Amino acid sequence: MKASVLALVAGTALTLTGLASAGVKSIVIVHGAFADGSGWKPVADMLERDGYSVRVVQEPLTSFEEDVAATRRVLETAGPCVLVGHSYGGMVITEAGAHSAVKSLVYVAAFQPDVGESAGALSGQTPPPATASPRSGMGSCKSILMRFRRIFAPDLPKRLTAFMAISQVPISGEAFGVKATVASWKDKPSYAVIAKQDRMINPELERFMSKRAQSETIELAGSHAIFLSHARESGGTDRESG
C-alpha cells in the first residue's frame, strides 16, 4: 500500500502499513444517516485511480438489522478489505466488522459503540451541539435546506448541501435505539477521524469512543461531512506520498 487509506478517506496522514502485507486492495464504505453513498464519490474516484477496489454500501436505513445485513452481503464478495463507516455507519461497521473479510475498521466522524450501546444512548451521554434534526420532511423546503446546511455541512458549497438536503434518505428512528451485540474494534485494528466542528456527533464523544477503543486517531477541522470537505486534500496527500 503506497499511502494511507485513511488519507484517502478523510484527508489524514495516518498510514495503514500493516495492510500492505495483508494484500488489502478493497475498501468498503458504509454511509451514515440523512445521506446516501453518493457523497463518497470523490473519495471513491481517488481510491480507484490508485488501484483500489471500492464498494459503497447503500443500506436501506429501514432498520439497524437490515443495514447490517446489507453490509454483510457486500462483504461476502469484497475479499480482504478495510471497512469504513461514517456517522451512524459506525454502528453498522462495528456489528458487521466481525466478518472474516474485514481486516481493519475506519470510523469517520462516527459512532464507535461497545456491546450494549446504541447511537441514541451515546448521543444522550454527550449531546451534540445541534439540538434540531436535519431530517427531511420537517418544515418548509427553505427551512429544511437551512437546517441541513447549519447542522450537517456548514463548510460545504451551498449548492452541494442543497442537493444533499433534498436527496437525503429517511432513516427509521428505531435504528438509533438498537444496541450493538458485537464490538469488532476489540479484535481488529481501528482508526478514527474526529471532526472538530461536528454538530451531529459531539467531538468530545468521538474522542471518548476512539480513546476507549485505542484507535489510531486524527483530528481535522471540519463539519460532520468531513469526508467531503477534505476529499480533495486527501487525494493530494496520497499522490505526494506515493
Instruction: Give tens-digit pLDDT for 7-25.
Output: 545 443 343 334 444 568 8
Domains of the chain, earliest start first: 5-127+168-241 (3.40.50.1820)
pLDDT at res. 183 = 98
DSSP sequence for 194-224: EETT-SSS-HHHHHHHHHHHT-EEEEES--T
Averaged pLDDT, 51-76: 94
pLDDT at res. 28 = 93
Averaged pLDDT, 52-63: 92
> What is the identity of the amino acid at 199?
R
User: pLDDT tens for residues 98-150?
Assistant: 999 999 999 999 999 999 999 999 999 999 876 555 554 444 444 556 677 77
Query: Which residue from 168, 188, 217, 174 is spatially nearest to 75, judged by alpha carbons?
Result: 188
Averaged pLDDT, 176-189: 96
- Three-state SS for 34? coil
User: pLDDT tens for residues 157-177?
Assistant: 888 888 887 777 778 889 999
Q: Which three cell numbers stand for residue 44?
A: 471513491
Neighbouring CB atoms inside 10 A of 116's CB total 10
Give residue for cell 476512539. 210
pLDDT at res. 131 = 57
pLDDT at res. 145 = 66
> What is the identity of the amino acid at 187?
D
Q: Of the ranges 183-187, 192-196, 229-233, which is most confident? A: 183-187
Percent of the chain at pLDDT above 70? 78
